[in-house]
Structure 1
């Protein structure tokens, strides 16, 4: 029985690692940070399965762990600082105006919860109810985070295109 659970967990990690990485990348906007986030999430999933025994839904547990780990990391003081090798004289204009880059830059301006709600609702294609359950918030809160997040994205995207 233990071997079957380990095989199922191993299969889950192999099958869903890329999807978790994509969601993590949309959450944090940095490839290396997303890889760290996925690794931390998978370690927590493995440890959670060992601690709680069989999990009803590894997928839901992993998604919730990914989002909670991301939000918790954003609360830490050291995450707010950015180290630079050299101080830039001025901000440079990016020659690439690809929509994907603009969306990721716009996502970076949102709060951690707004970003998590938008990624879960529109990237993971979860319902309001599922997003609320996953984040441990009321459905009305999910709706307000969605509305405010989309409004902020629209404002940033409109500003970028002008």
Structure 2
């Protein structure tokens, strides 16, 4: 298939006609060139089957039409908004306890912080965390234990009273 002169001849003979067809489909020369290029790539992949048939141009045109329709469908789903959202959304500032917790979390080593975020924020189990980070499950458990110990040591402890139990 590499260097098949019949494919090169086909492109040389019918390339301009395909480009004109692409222009009619897309309405501009840039998208037309993209359609032709994509169709010729697909045609090149199927050339060994299609060269025995009488009309590979039909395959190329059909491919171009399908590619154009697929692109059109994707663009149709986009919702373009010219107006900005009505108001800016601002997250409330974290309370003192939350701020201290985020600072303590930021102070952890990267692997420990990643383990805690994946466990408590992403709700992953130890096996999933191990797969994401490329470490063993035992390492996940030890890193989590060390991280929690550091967090407990760094945050002031409050006596357990009925008012502050969450």
Using structure 2 for the length normalisation, give the TM-score.
Answer: 0.41
Tell me which structure has the larger Cα radius of gyration: 2
TM-score by length of 1: 0.42
